């Protein structure tokens, strides 16, 4: 029930945020938002930060949930496939440092291009089914939250986290870790919204799947299974 789920969302987000802030306050530098791993590393990295790890976990969970929707809610498969592909592209982007450093340089760009191409081709080939799926589920609280998260990730965090902006604001006091902290926490908000939106979308898709009449072949298959079980 939504009136139970939303307070739980609030408590979960508040707890994770509190834990991250307390971690840094109790042991300065624990968030690892600016690590310099070698003398040749000019900019440093935040890829080992607990904030980035939580973002990757959220994206992985979103991908699993959307995969479940695509498998068990056929009428919503086009939407779930597209959103799942987007979550996978986000996850690859979050892991770019490790893919480039330990496997091959610019590998993440190739992988994102492949995933993006597959999603575009699939959506184009099933655009009619996509329109039907949207008509069945809209208005949707889940999709609204997913859209809100995308706005934060694609627009707000990129603009507010722009390095030139913080160099202008801080002037001679500029430190890159400040820019990284603001950017990563804003992105975390966007991923929180993505997580909530994915869960709510899955609940709504499941409700639609249960409301839809079963195909005749599926009804006959269930009847035969029931008849076999009834003999013993």
Instruction: Give residue 214's pLDDT.
Output: 52
pLDDT per residue of the chain (232 residues) written in tens, 0 to 9: 677 888 999 999 999 999 999 999 998 888 888 777 666 666 667 778 899 899 999 999 999 999 998 888 888 888 888 888 888 988 888 888 888 777 877 888 888 899 889 988 988 888 888 888 888 888 888 999 999 998 998 888 888 888 889 889 888 888 888 888 888 899 999 999 999 999 999 998 888 877 755 554 455 556 666 566 655 4
pTM of the entire structure?
0.82
- 131 and 86 Cβ atoms separated by less than 8 Å: no
- 228 and 176 Cβ atoms separated by less than 8 Å: no
Residue at token pair 């968030």: 31
User: What ranges do the domains of the chain cover?
Assistant: 47-212
């Amino acid at each position: 029930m939504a009136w139970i789920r939303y307070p739980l969302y609030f408590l979960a987000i508040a707890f994770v945020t509190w834990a991250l802030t307390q971690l840094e306050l109790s042991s300065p530098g624990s968030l690892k938002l600016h690590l310099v791993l070698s003398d040749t590393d000019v900019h440093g990295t935040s890829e080992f930060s607990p904030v980035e790890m939580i973002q990757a976990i959220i994206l992985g969970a979103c991908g699993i949930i959307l995969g479940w929707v695509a498998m068990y809610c056929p009428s919503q498969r086009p939407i779930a496939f597209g959103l799942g592909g987007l979550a996978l592209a986000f996850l690859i982007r979050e892991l770019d440092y490790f893919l480039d450093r330990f496997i091959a340089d610019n590998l993440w760009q190739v992988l994102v291009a492949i995933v993006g191409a597959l999603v575009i081709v699939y959506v184009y080939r099933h655009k009619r089914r996509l329109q039907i799926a949207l008509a069945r589920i809209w208005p949707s609280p889940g999709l609204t939250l997913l859209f809100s998260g995308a706005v934060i990730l694609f627009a707000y965090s990129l603009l507010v986290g722009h390095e030139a902006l913080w160099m202008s604001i801080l002037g001679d006091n500029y430190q890159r870790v400040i820019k990284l902290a603001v950017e990563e926490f804003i992105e975390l908000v966007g991923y929180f919204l993505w997580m909530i939106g994915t869960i709510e979308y899955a609940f709504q898709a499941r409700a639609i799947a249960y409301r839809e009449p079963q195909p005749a072949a599926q009804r006959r298959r269930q009847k035969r299974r029931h008849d076999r079980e009834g003999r013993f």
